[in-house]
């Protein structure tokens, strides 16, 4: 790899050697979390059935929910799930009891399910949650664009903030946003309709999996995904990206691959990483 002449640091890239990414549904964090909740519920029910008559305990539903939350969070920590899963495991039983106690109408649950499905459409499979970037990231990516007209793709473009910003900053570039979840894609597509084509080039928003793209069509690929997705992303980039093209990743680094560039974005000390092919 050659050097990328931007950012705060320039380092030689090491040798390749990536482990194959497993997409087994049984290993997905959502599946593991659900199984932990079920096992904890069974354990608590059996314990209560055995000990309550003997000890003459009076256990409320809230106490059971709290006990299950603590137990599920503990097992999730031992299973090395991410911090947000541990928090979800802790609060889920209490939230369920609260919802039952409030006796909310059934249409609310249907609405919440449909909204969540449209927003987090593929999170279960891809392990990439919806989490938008901000203006600091947009400006940093714009600084990484080549001086000549280029084709740029934002994989996992969300609500389209980065793509719209790049299109306004560099109307000479062709900007493509790719999103798999229907609701964020629709929002970004509608936002693009309101862009004045005379003042700048409208970005193109595609509803699809980025794996269907050919990275050889782009000069710069930007990704803000998750740690789980970085190894397969690198495998695709290595196989398809042209010499001189750049892969950028915000916050998440590719395992065992030292970047050619790393640039601190904001006061949170989150990094933008770059690799040139």
For 158, the token pair is 């969300």
Q: Which residues in the chain belong to E strands, given as ranges?
A: 151-155, 174-179, 204-207, 220-223, 246-250, 261-264, 271-276
Average pLDDT, the chain: 78
pLDDT of the residue at 141: 93
Say how far residue 143 (Cα) sits from the centre of its chain: 23
pLDDT mean over 24-33:
64
The residue whose two tokens read 């680094």 is: 253
Tell which wins on pLDDT, 274 or 201.
Answer: 274
pLDDT of the residue at 154: 95
Q: Which domains does the chain have, with CATH numbers?
A: 29-126 (no CATH), 135-276 (3.40.50.150)
The residue whose two tokens read 């919802």 is: 99
* Residue 106: pLDDT band with limits 50, 70, 90: low
Sorted by sequence, the CB contacts under 8 Å of residue 143 that are 6+ apart come out as: 6
Residues 110-156 have pLDDT tens digits of 666 565 555 555 544 444 455 667 788 899 999 999 999 999 999 98
For 28, the token pair is 């997905």
pLDDT of the residue at 272: 92
CA distances from 173 to 5, 149, 166, 220 (A): 20, 5, 8, 11
* Residue 205: pLDDT band with limits 50, 70, 90: very high
The rounded distance, in Å, linking the Cα atoms of 93 and 41 is: 10
For 218, the token pair is 């782009």
Residues 167-204 have pLDDT tens digits of 999 999 999 999 888 888 888 898 888 765 555 578 99
Residues 67-104 have pLDDT tens digits of 888 998 999 888 877 777 788 888 888 888 887 777 76
Residues 161-173 have pLDDT tens digits of 999 999 999 999 9
For 201, the token pair is 């080039």
pLDDT mean over 212-228:
91
Nearest to 160 by CA among 181, 144, 146, 143: 181
Q: Examine the pLDDT at 2 and tell me if it is beyond 60.
A: no
pLDDT mean over 14-20:
38
What is the CA angle 31-25-19, rounded to 5? Answer: 120
* Residue 157: pLDDT band with limits 50, 70, 90: confident
Q: Which residues in 101-219 belong to E strands, given as ranges?
A: 151-155, 174-179, 204-207
Q: Examine the pLDDT at 44 and tell me if it is beyond 70.
A: yes
């Amino acid at each position: 790899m050659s050097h990328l002449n931007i950012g705060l640091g320039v380092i030689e890239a090491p040798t390749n050697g990536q482990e194959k990414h497993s997409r087994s549904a049984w290993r997905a964090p959502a599946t593991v979390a659900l199984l932990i909740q079920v096992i904890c519920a069974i354990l608590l029910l059996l314990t209560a059935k055995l000990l309550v008559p003997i000890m003459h305990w009076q256990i409320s539903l809230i106490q059971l929910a709290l006990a299950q939350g603590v137990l599920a969070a503990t097992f999730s920590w031992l299973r090395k799930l991410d911090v947000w899963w541990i928090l979800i495991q802790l609060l889920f039983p209490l939230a369920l009891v609260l919802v039952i106690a409030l006796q909310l109408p059934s249409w609310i649950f249907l609405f919440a399910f449909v909204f969540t499905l449209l927003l987090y459409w593929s999170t279960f499979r891809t392990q990439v949650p919806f989490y938008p970037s901000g203006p600091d990231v947009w400006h940093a990516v714009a600084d990484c664009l080549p001086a000549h007209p280029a084709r740029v793709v934002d994989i996992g473009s969300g609500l389209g903030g980065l793509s719209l910003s790049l299109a306004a900053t560099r109307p000479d570039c062709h900007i493509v946003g790719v999103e798999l979840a229907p609701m964020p894609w629709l929002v970004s597509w509608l936002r693009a309709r309101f862009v004045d084509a005379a003042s700048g080039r409208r970005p193109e928003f595609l509803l699809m999996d980025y794996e269907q793209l050919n990275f050889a069509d782009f000069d710069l690929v930007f990704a803000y995904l998750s740690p789980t997705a970085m190894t397969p992303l690198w495998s695709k980039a290595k196989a398809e990206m042209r010499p001189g093209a750049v892969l950028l990743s915000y916050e998440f680094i590719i395992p065992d691959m030292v970047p050619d560039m790393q640039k601190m974005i904001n006061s949170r000390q989150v990094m933008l990483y770059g690799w040139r092919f």
